Amino acid sequence: MKGKGTYRLRTALIWVLINEVLFFATLAVLFLWLIPSIPNFNIQRMDWLPYLIGSSILAPLFLWSLRRRSRGLERFRDHHLGAQVAPNISTARHIIHFILWRWAIAFILLAVMNPRFGKKEVEVRYSGVDIIICLDVSNSMLADDITPSRLVKAKRAISQLLKELHGDRVGLIVFAGDAYVQLPITTDYSAAEMFLKGINTEMVPTQGTAIGTAIDLATESFSEDTEGSRSIIVITDGENHQDDAMEAAGRAKEQGITVHTIGMGSPEGAPIPVRQGRRVIGYKKDKSGETVISKLDENMLIQVASAGNGVFVRASNAGTGLGAILDEIESMDDNEFGTEQYADFEDRFQIFLLLAAFLLVIESLLPFKRSRWFHRMDIFD
């Protein structure tokens, strides 16, 4: 270039516009033709596309910066000092530096978007055991012979169980004088955890301990397409006063469903606290004014587990025994819940990172001052 101690802004504008047209033409070809036409190819992070398009703001920023520098140099040129102050100014070099940076940033953003190529279609089979947990939410579960209370201890144990499940489906049923499905059977453990947190003794308006009703409801709640390993876990203090839980467990066994029981509480029992907020203001009393002592009915729960071909575990402050029942369940054969096909994609962001690194290396090796080779070039003039 034949410089005059300042930058050629019109030349810079023309080449920057050409570069931006080329950039958007490349995007159009990539997103409107190339991606739709290549099988098993996609962009994982399309939410970054606005940032890629928005990177065009670099063009006017570059021109603004060049114009600002040029105005500064024009002041010296007015005093016939421009060539002396900046004799080797090269508009061409600045344009090339910008273009290299422009495309390097574009390639970095494309790498963040993570283009992926699918190698093949993969079929995934989902299998595991179906488990429905029936949790007693009657007032007797507030007794604290198991600390902090029978219900809180049971909820913590179920929460731990959810963390240990892998591929198994789980459902939640709450019961007192009646039984209700709290969560249909699912592999969404996060949803199960959310529903579990909301369980309390006020969920079932009718008091009592209808274990048989809960077992029957659980039996009906299993998926019709599943005939393999299915288990019901009943967590209760066993004070059953309403139905024949052993008959319900027997009906479940006839359908190939195993019924396990966990006894919450102690044979000695404990009073049922009455709370006002978090403060205990007294204990539940019977009609004669005597304090009600809620005791674990261990024999009944053993019989229910036996009728359902399951096991009985008695909970304590050291643990609920849910882990032992889970080991028993995991020894059962898995059910196949279904299959799903998807493309096995491989990330290709590395290609664009390498292109960006290559351009940045070239840019770093290219000085801004004019050389003899650029002096002979007139394509930027």
Q: Chunked in runs of 10, what are the mean pLDDT values of the chain (381 residues)? A: 59 90 90 78 86 92 83 59 53 86 94 79 66 94 91 92 86 94 91 93 87 95 75 88 85 93 91 82 84 90 94 86 79 59 72 93 76 48 45
Around Cβ 53, how many Cβ atoms within 10 Å? 13
What tokens does 26 get? 């490349």
Whether the full predicted model's pTM is greater than 0.75, yes or no, is: no
- Give pLDDT, residue 380: 44
Decide: helix, strand or coil at residue 234: strand
| Cα(233)–Cα(236) distance, integer angstroms | 10
Instruction: Yes or no: say if 20 and 56 are a contact pair by the CB < 8 Å rule.
Output: yes
Give the pLDDT score at 123: 60
> For the segment 7-57, what is each residue's pLDDT rounded down to a tens digit?
678 888 899 999 999 999 998 888 888 777 777 777 888 899 999 999 999
Confirm if 207 and 176 have CB atoms less than 8 A apart: yes
- Evaluate whether 251 touches 219 at the Cβ level (below 8 Å): yes
Q: How much is the pLDDT for 239?
A: 77
Q: Quickly name the fold that domain 125-339 has.
A: Rossmann fold (3.40.50)
Tens of pLDDT, residues 228-274: 689 999 999 987 666 789 999 999 999 999 999 999 999 888 998 88
What CA–CA distance (Å, rounded) separates 211 from 248?
A: 8
42: its two tokens:
């996609």
Residues 6+ apart with CB under 8 A from 178: 204, 206, 208, 210, 213
Residue-range domain boundaries for the chain: 9-114+348-376, 125-339
